[in-house]
Chain A
């Protein structure tokens, strides 16, 4: 295992700048998830670490070695692709053995490693099958088996679960996480699914438009998002955003309504965007008036979609509701859990 250091990496395709000076330090044995919407550069960054894309500027090192200009095969990494990239004409065991056979590993050693990987992944009875005879989850395991027999310094995953159905995805998520922990493997994992990022990562790297928006543990990113984008991207249902003007202890809404924020905002004046997660908003006897626009029961909890003019707010309620669409409710915002953002730059205030 080894650490990975990406230092001021830039990637340009022609005149398009896909990555603009990205720096990430990944510690030995750490599970880091790169997350962001499509086109944010997360897959490009992963492919640059793998050596499948050249680095326009900056450098990448694995352990003590600068690998910026090394070929993929000389970087000692293993990668699991979104479509698994299993060789269709080889059996499962040949697929797993491929890297060893091109490197000239002895047959007995290879067999031992295949058997161990098959045992870890529960693939023992499938070793003689071909990939097309396997289910999606089994193919996924073969792809991982191919990676773990390599004993690489770094594991790279490129959206490995996006081709699986929701139930299997949840199961494989836990499997990958515990496998990587067991191997104490340095892992870089790309996904666009923030739930995957939250549940699997030691640290999350949130990316947008070729830059890193924030790096932190899942709860750091959730609790103190450094920008409007991160606040909106991480967490489900999405954080509520209300624009207004700070005046003393209150947020004054454009229509004149007041949201009391207490000491949280003491001394601040000016336009801000208030961010409050749906679980920090509650219905109360007194508060800001909203109308119920839609009710979404999920069973364990109920989502209330509220509106007041242009302002929309989602509330999560643990208890079931007797409200009907159109009802008028009063809402209080938990000031301690409120986030304030600059409406122009989108960055966090205080």
Chain B
């Protein structure tokens, strides 16, 4: 032992369990909760890599041997995964674009323009959040049928371009209200019209909030099941959740949980990747808009 090390040893505090617990309790709790929430995901991934005989024995978490061929089967053999993926991407991309643009547009009006009846309209708009899809399902079905939009992507996409999601409008409204009024007034004096102010001043300043809306909207439309089920009949138009559901209901596959899980994993993956990359924006946007 050198002379330098002596003080280090002397400074070390005696280990006291209660103190250690107090300092680390929150991590223990968080770790436990995280493990609990991750369990289904872990089981999904694990099952997706098992052979059919292994799926009957859930006690072995790690598949042995690892059945990579499940993914090959899902992607190329069992059902037209590529087509469903493409459909999902098209629907989600359009829905996200529509949601972000239309909700930001409407929210700007509510947050920054003065017009008679604004508050009443805003409350009315917010109250549409109270109606679950199950309530709107039948009227929507009738409307879209009248419009001749059955068996197209239009019912899944067009509403997004008309501010169908009151929650996104509300979220952006709160964010826009936080933008200093003098910036908007300054732009007004500089000669910008409201559309230019919205596009060139408000939107660039709202990137975090717009990112939150984009992510939530993507997640929603990517995982959406009931509307596609309702409005799409042609299997070639199916989105991933719908395709997955049909596959799981197929007699040949119904008992093949390893394949169902492989398909589910493939479907969840894009959302997971996007979340990982967008996490920074996501947290920032939510804290800045004052909504938790």
| A residues lining the B interface (CB < 8 Å) | 50-52, 71-73, 77-79, 81-83, 85, 87-89, 98-99, 102-103, 146, 150
Contacts and interface: CB of A to CB of B under 8 A. Distances in A.
Interface string B170-207: 00000000001011011111111100100011001100
B185 A98 contact: no
Contact of B185 (A85, A89, A103, A146): A85
Contacts of B185: 50, 52, 72, 79, 81, 85
Given A73-B192, A88-B205, A89-B205, A98 B187 contact: yes
A19 to B, nearest CB: 19
Contact of A99 (B183, B190, B204): B190
Nearest to B197: A102
Contacts, number: 57
A79 B186 CA distance: 7
Contacts of B189: 50-52, 72-73, 77-79
23 contacts: A52-B185, A52-B188, A52-B189, A72-B185, A73-B188, A73-B189, A73-B190, A73-B192, A73-B193, A77-B189, A79-B186, A79-B189, A82-B182, A85-B182, A85-B186, A87-B201, A88-B205, A98-B192, A99-B190, A102-B187, A102-B190, A102-B191, A146-B190
Interface of B is mostly: helix
Given A77-B189, A102-B191, A83 B205 contact: no
Contacts of A98: 187, 190, 192, 200
Contacts of A102: 187, 190-193, 196, 200
Interface in B91-107: none
Nearest to A146: B190
**Interface residue tally of chain B, by bracket?**
10 to 19
Nearest to B188: A72
Given A87-B201, A89-B205, A99 B191 contact: yes
Contacts of A77: 189
A83 B181 CA distance: 11
Q: Which are the 9 A-B pairs with shortest beta-carbon distances? A: A99-B190, A85-B186, A85-B182, A73-B191, A89-B204, A81-B182, A102-B192, A72-B189, A72-B188
Given A73-B188, A85-B186, A87-B205, 6 more contacts: A52-B185, A73-B190, A78-B189, A81-B182, A87-B201, A103-B191
Interface string B142-184: 0000000000000000000000000000000000000010110
Contacts of A150: 190
Contacts of A50: 185, 189
Nearest to A73: B191
B12 to A, nearest CB: 44
Nearest to A81: B182
Contacts of A87: 183, 186-187, 201, 205
Nearest to B207: A89
A89 B187 CA distance: 13
A82 B201 CA distance: 19
Contacts of B180: 83, 85
Contacts of A72: 185, 188-189
Interface in B197-224: 200-201, 204-205
Contacts of A85: 180, 182-183, 185-186
A289 B103 CA distance: 75
B86 to A, nearest CB: 35
A260 B292 CA distance: 72
Nearest to B184: A85
Contacts of B192: 73, 98, 102
A72 B190 CA distance: 8
A102 to B, nearest CB: 4
Contacts of B190: 73, 98-99, 102, 146, 150
Nearest to B185: A52
A214 to B, nearest CB: 29
Contacts of B201: 87
A335 B193 CA distance: 60
A274 B204 CA distance: 59
B115 to A, nearest CB: 14
A50 B196 CA distance: 19
| Residue of B183, B187, B189, B201 with highest tally of chain A CB at under 10 A | B189
A81 B205 contact: no
